[in-house]
């Protein structure tokens, strides 16, 4: 997420949850400003982000949920969809319930048991969270036509956090069951917009990212990044690279930083707000000129146990790799406007480019 001139990610285990036919009810416990409720569109061509395992208790299925079909006797049982514990914010998060609230909604919309598909069942799950049921109609790619789905929240990162509003970028992997019983893997990044309310923050809108189609043939630099084992990309970010809409400055910086570091990237282009949150300044992300990193060498940026010297070293090396706008949780004095820190970048490092 960018902050200063237009640019602008925690360790924990990746966690997946299959949601029951009704919603999960979880315990209560973000770049800054009031951003436009928009998400990057495809182009034409917890301290150690301690993600602790949460246990969700499904509610009794609602009357609106479809009844799962009974397998035909003698038919082999289909391969189970992946299941993981629910992602939870760690103890060093700023406003942890904001992230928890966003994750609750995304999981409720993006995972369901056999027969739990459809808008009406999704509306029931959202309503059980105490959120507006109409949010189910904004699920987009989170709710494909599949009889069963499971979802992993890789990380929840701030796109912006202010006193009364926030953007949380929920980075997901998703598995869906095809009509023939096969399992398809995909994923998206959802920009969840929230506002302060009592007793908990509420969700006002969500904007699932939709990456553009893959280019006929990736460039040699894209192929190198995708093949680099020290760079890990979630589904939407990898799709951004395959689509050919990411500047070479970003790709080359990733490769350079992957020499001394192992990088877990959260967001590149798709799924990020169009403007720096709380401003009317265009973000570098939708232009394909920025990327965010939420884990460095296996350690979450948000985790205070992660050595600050490691994070500062990464930020300085990102600037040396050509970034004009480096954000993170560490204040680097005497560096002019090239570096910045704020609450939004408490949980990730932003690396932005102006060309």
Note the pLDDT of residue 67: 47
Note the pLDDT of residue 58: 40
Note the pLDDT of residue 78: 77
All residue ranges of the chain with pLDDT < 50 are: 3-37, 41-68
Fold of the 220-352 domain: Muramoyl-pentapeptide Carboxypeptidase; domain 2 (3.30.1380)
Residue boundaries of the structural domains of the chain: 15-66+81-208, 220-352
Instruction: Give the whole-angstrom CA distance, residue 184 versus residue 149.
Output: 10
Instruction: Give the whole-angstrom CA distance, residue 280 versus residue 295.
Output: 29
Note the pLDDT of residue 50: 35
Note the pLDDT of residue 77: 72
Pairing of the two strands 15-17 and 231-232: unpaired
Instruction: Give the whole-angstrom CA distance, residue 177 versus residue 189.
Output: 20
Note the pLDDT of residue 59: 42
Question: CB within 8 A of 234, min separation 6: which ones?
Answer: 154, 171, 172, 173, 187, 189, 265, 266
Note the pLDDT of residue 191: 97
């Amino acid at each position: 997420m960018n902050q200063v001139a237009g640019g602008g990610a925690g360790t924990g285990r990746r966690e997946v949850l299959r949601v029951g036919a009704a919603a999960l009810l979880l315990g209560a416990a973000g770049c800054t400003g009031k951003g436009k409720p928009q998400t990057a569109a495809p182009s034409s061509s917890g301290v150690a982000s301690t993600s602790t395992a949460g246990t969700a208790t499904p509610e009794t299925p609602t009357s609106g949920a479809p009844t799962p079909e009974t397998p035909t006797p003698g038919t082999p049982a289909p391969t189970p969809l992946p299941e993981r514990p629910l992602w939870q914010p760690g103890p060093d998060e700023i406003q942890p319930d904001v992230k928890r609230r966003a994750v609750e909604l995304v999981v409720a919309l993006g995972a369901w048991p056999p027969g739990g598909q459809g808008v009406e069942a999704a509306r029931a799950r959202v309503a059980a969270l105490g959120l507006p049921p109409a949010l189910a109609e904004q699920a987009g790619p989170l709710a494909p036509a599949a009889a069963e789905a499971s979802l992993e929240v890789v990380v929840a990162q701030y796109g912006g956090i202010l006193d009364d509003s926030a953007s949380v970028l929920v980075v997901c992997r998703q598995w869906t069951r095809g009509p023939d019983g096969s399992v398809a893997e995909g994923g998206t990044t959802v920009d969840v917009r929230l506002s302060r309310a009592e007793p908990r923050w509420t969700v006002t809108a969500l904007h699932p990212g939709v990456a553009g189609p893959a280019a006929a043939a990736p460039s040699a630099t894209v192929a190198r990044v995708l093949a680099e084992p020290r760079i890990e990309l979630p589904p939407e970010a990898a799709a951004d690279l395959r689509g050919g809409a990411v500047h070479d400055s970003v790709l080359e910086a990733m490769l350079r930083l992957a020499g001394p570091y192992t990088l877990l990237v959260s967001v590149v282009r798709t799924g990020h707000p169009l403007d720096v949150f709380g401003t009317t300044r265009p973000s570098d992300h939708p232009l394909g000129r920025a990327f965010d990193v939420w884990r460095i060498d296996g350690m979450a940026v948000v985790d205070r146990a992660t050595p600050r010297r490691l994070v500062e070293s990464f930020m300085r090396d990102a600037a040396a790799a050509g970034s004009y706008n480096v954000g993170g949780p560490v204040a680097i004095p005497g560096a002019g406007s090239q570096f910045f820190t704020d609450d939004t970048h408490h949980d990730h490092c932003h690396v932005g480019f102006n060309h």
